[in-house]
Amino acid sequence: MWKSSRYHAAEHQFSRRTFLGGLAAGGAGLGGLAGLSRRAAAEQIKSSGKRVLLLFQHGGLSQFESWDPKPNTEFGGPFAAIPTSIPGVAVSELLPYTARQLHHLTILRGLSTEDTLHDSARVRMITGRSQGFVGGQYPSFGAVCGKLLGAGRTQPAYVKLTGRDNWHLASLVDAAFLGPECAPVVAFDESAPDHLVPPAELDAARLARLDSLRNQANARFERQRKSDETAAYQSSFDKARQLMRQKDLFNLSRESAADHARYGSEPFGQRCLLARRLLEHDCTFVKLNHLNYDAHFENFDNHLRLLGEFDRPFATLLEDLDHRGMLDTTLVIVMGEFGRTPKVNSSIGRDHWAKSWSMVLGGCGIKPGMVWGGTNATGTEVVDGQVTAFDLFHTFYRALGLDPNTHIYNGDQPLTLTESGKPITEILA
């Protein structure tokens, strides 16, 4: 059984082209209360044209049923492993379409992230900080990237795509002290954000009069008692106006019937198409939710269904980003809050597990076609290339050309972008 953490496709003897051919034959300014660090740091982090796609698999994807299969072992489960476009590397048979695109990505098989409570682990894996169940003390990765990479680019800089029934995952506090300018715009159910289009009875002239009246009231109030709160309030209105001018960003009817068919009619597929549209129009950070992988019961049936939803649309999105020349500037991250236990419980489920799990990433700043880290034969221990949650964020920021030790300021308090860790330099391009 192969275990090395330093496998790279270029080191393998047989032809990737031959393998891919065989597969193809089978078918398819800071907002609110915050400020940046000194001028030198501000110069370093000016707009670079780089983007992030974070596909977050809420609930905890099983590494055994995805990126680190262990067929025919004690805990391996019923699914086979299949070859991928990285010669010598296999993934679960539940990911046949992604397997054909895996040469664009790198697999990390040595994650050890400590936290196994959904809410606090999710906050940790979205912010790069330990901050309890709710978050809000420190900004999310999306809010930070929207600020540091998004100046002068398409607004909104940071967009979340999710289902309306997942409202609890669409927290509006994840900008924290960066303020409302850096808060995400949330688009539910493959539609434009709520209230983006004014009511039909409000014509343009009436809207202009209402806006003028509000501006006059704001100006009068600010002359008497300007505060951070009034600045944040004004920033929210300014952001809303910018968003209204960009309402066509969310109009999926502008995409071709052929593309709709390629991505599929299921909600997740249409969100993937919307994510592509947003990234093409230079949005800085798109977070795409997929859930619920929390399979304490019937783990195998649950993953069969969920990865059936995930596989083809994600592979199509990855292929499109490559064909359109966007992968070099788009950091693609696929992860959740933790993995699933090796041991299958009495309800045919896998429970929470953060000791030895897997994820994939690729695109901007990442060497493609690699596997870093490895677990033992039963998947219970990391035996090579262990990576912490904070190592991940040091790697993400470095891949984007940002120094994770750069300071952002909460009032007068300087804070680095993430907690202490080290980048995985071996996978950085």
316 φ/ψ sector (left φ>0, alpha ψ -120 to 50, else beta): alpha
- 276: domain range? 34-192+251-427
Per-residue pLDDT band at 116 (split at 50, 70, 90): very high
Per-residue pLDDT band at 48 (split at 50, 70, 90): low
User: What total number of domains does the chain contain?
Assistant: 1
pLDDT at 14 over 70: no
- Taken in order 392, 30, 221, 195, the sign of the CA dihedral is negative
Token pair 């409570």: residue: 117
Structural domain contains residue 214: no
Reported pTM: 0.82
pLDDT at 422 over 60: yes
pLDDT digits (tens, 9 = 90+) for 279-312: 998 899 999 999 999 999 999 999 999 999 999 9
- Measure the CA–CA gap between 222 and 7, rounded to whole angstroms: 60
Could you give phi then psi for residue 371, rounded to 5 degrees? -125, 125
CB 145 within 8 A of CB 285: yes
Residue 254 identity: R
- Measure the CA–CA gap between 225 and 398, rounded to whole angstroms: 42
Share of the chain above pLDDT 70, in %: 78
- Measure the CA–CA gap between 325 and 51, rounded to whole angstroms: 13
Structural domain contains residue 239: no
- Provide the token pair at 423: 């980048």
pLDDT at 117 over 80: yes
- Measure the CA–CA gap between 235 and 217, rounded to whole angstroms: 15
| Closest-CA residue to 87 (of 24, 197, 13) | 13
Per-residue pLDDT band at 10 (split at 50, 70, 90): very low
pLDDT at 76 over 60: yes
Structural domain contains residue 141: yes
Per-residue pLDDT band at 351 (split at 50, 70, 90): very high
Give the pLDDT score at 132.
72
Give the pLDDT score at 77.
97
Structural domain contains residue 246: no
- Provide the token pair at 235: 């920033």
- Measure the CA–CA gap between 157 and 254, rounded to whole angstroms: 21
CATH code of the domain covering residue 305: 3.40.720.10
Does an H or E element contain 43, and which?
Answer: helix 39-44
pLDDT digits (tens, 9 = 90+) for 366-380: 999 999 999 999 999
Helix 118-127 and helix 141-149: axis angle, to 10°? 20
Structural domain contains residue 383: yes
Structural domain contains residue 21: no
pLDDT at 386 over 70: yes
Give the pLDDT score at 230.
58
pLDDT at 236 over 60: no
- Provide the token pair at 276: 């592509």
pLDDT at 34 over 70: no
Give the pLDDT score at 217.
76
Average pLDDT over the chain, rounded to an integer: 84
Share of the chain above pLDDT 90, in %: 63
Which of 48-62, 225-239, 345-359: highest mean pLDDT? 345-359
Structural domain contains residue 211: no
State the Cα angle at 188 between 185 and 193, rounded to 5°. Answer: 45
**Rg, Å, the chain Cα set:** 22
Task: Give Cα 180 distance to the centre of its chain.
Answer: 20
Residue 40 exposure: Cα atoms within 13 Å on the Cβ side: 3
Query: 3-state class of 408 per DSSP?
Result: strand
pLDDT digits (tens, 9 = 90+) for 130-147: 987 767 789 999 999 999
Per-residue pLDDT band at 187 (split at 50, 70, 90): confident
CB 123 within 8 A of CB 134: yes
333 DSSP β-pair partners: 54, 361
Per-residue pLDDT band at 173 (split at 50, 70, 90): low
pLDDT at 23 over 60: no
Q: Which are the contacts of 19, defined by CB distance < 8 A and separation ≥ 6?
A: 83, 85, 87
Burial class (CB in 10 A: 0-12, 13-18, 19+), 429: exposed
- Measure the CA–CA gap between 148 and 166, rounded to whole angstroms: 28
Residue 12 exposure: Cα atoms within 13 Å on the Cβ side: 20
- Measure the CA–CA gap between 312 and 392, rounded to whole angstroms: 26
pLDDT at 9 over 70: no
Structural domain contains residue 15: no
